[in-house]
Every structure is written in structure tokens, then in C-alpha cells.
Amino acid sequence: MKQKLLTLALLAPLLYTACNSTSNKPETVVEKTETTQQVIVKSEVPASTQNNSSMETTVSYANDKEFIKDQGMMHIKSFMETLQPTLMGLMKSDKTYQTAMGGCTSMAQKMTSDYNAISPDTKIRRTALKYRNEKNKPDATDTVVMERFLASNNLTEPLVVEMPNNYRVYKALDMKQPCLACHGDTISQELVKMLEKSYPKDMATHFKLGEFRGVIIAEVKK
């Protein structure tokens, strides 16, 4: 296992980005056990993010699984650390941010697929309640976990969820200053045109600095 983790930590740089957020909060009932929490959430989220018109989902948290959490966070950090030098370089080279926007549009999904193709036991994906790319639409469990991040107002600690065939490690992402160029209140007309062309159903705009914008998820095989 240590050899696998070391190999994955030395993977070639990959590009990642997903800047999204929401402010809707669910009505939550929590029943605590020694190692897990059964959470039933009835959530009225934007219609475009719902799998059904009304949603009731049970989520089993396994935050005591420290090894799973560490493995998931290792993959998440390895994947995300490639974003800053790459994206910041693109932004510095073009103050209109059109080059960076074009790079994100053309490369993000492919880089995610490339990473997962060489990672046998853990897969990375990203989602948000207000997503930009429909390929990143959340499922019911994702929605419950993201609503929990919002309700707790704690974006630092990851959350671990046990699924039938794997564990999901969720890391919350907050809105950073550079992301506002494409996700804030004042997006240039040039970028607006690019977004309308690439993402006609885009919901990921009008965010504030520091807001919850979505999650990156590591799915660790059992």
C-alpha cells in the first residue's frame, strides 16, 4: 500500500479547477452512534441540482476511518497542488483571463480522466450545488454532504462517507480571489461570451470571496 501511495504522489502535474457555491440550507436530523452518523436530509435545493423534485437521502459518515481519510486526502492534495502554478501562470500571462478560461474549458475533464486512469484504488471527481459543467452534477449523497458543510460553516475538516462499494472523502473548497474573475459578480463581457458558448446552463457565478464553492471527492475502493 505504501508503494502505491508513493507512486501516486509522484504523478506528473495535472490541471484541476471547480469553483462553485450555494447558500441553501437543509432541515437536518442527526442520530449519533459511536462511529457513524445517520443523517436524513429533506433539502429544497435549486431544481437544476435535484435528482428528484423532493429528496430524502440517508448518509452514513465514517469520520473515524483515519487511514481512509489520509489516503483520500493524499490523492486530493496531489491532484489540487498542480492547479496553482499552472492556472496562476496562465492568469499572469493574460490579464483578461481568457487564456486561463480556455485552458480550464479544454483540459479539466481530460486531466481528471487521465489521473483516474492511472490510479487503481482511488478516483477523483469534483462537484458543487451550483455547478458549471453538467458532467459535474452532484448525486443525492453529494448534495447532503455539501449541505452539511454549509450548515456547519466548517470548510477545514474533510468528511468521510461510507458507500456500499467504496468510501468517499470530501474536501470542501472556498472561493479564492483568482476564481472571482470567472465566478464573481463582475465577469468581463469576453469571458461571459466564452462561458455562454461552453456552458450554456452555467450556474456558477455571482459568488463572494471566501464562500463555499463546492467539493473535491476521492472515492477509495473497499
pLDDT in tens, 77-113: 988 887 666 677 777 777 788 877 777 766 777 778 8
CB 91 within 8 A of CB 97: yes
Domain range summary for the chain, segments of one domain joined by +: 2-9+19-221
pLDDT in tens, 18-74: 444 444 444 444 444 334 444 434 333 443 444 443 358 899 999 999 999 999 999
DSSP string of 37-59, one letter each residue: EEEEEE----GGG-SSSS-EEEE
Nearby residues of 105 by Cβ (< 8 Å), 6 or more positions away: 194, 198
Q: How far apart are CA 125 and CA 206, in angstroms?
A: 23
What would the grid cell of residue 119 be?
Answer: 490510479
Q: Residue 105: its pLDDT value, please?
A: 67
CA distances from 164 to 59, 76, 93, 173, 222 (A): 11, 21, 46, 26, 9
Single pTM value for the model? 0.75
Alpha helix (H) residue ranges in 118-199: 140-152, 180-183, 189-198
Q: How far apart are CA 125 and CA 145, in angstroms?
A: 15
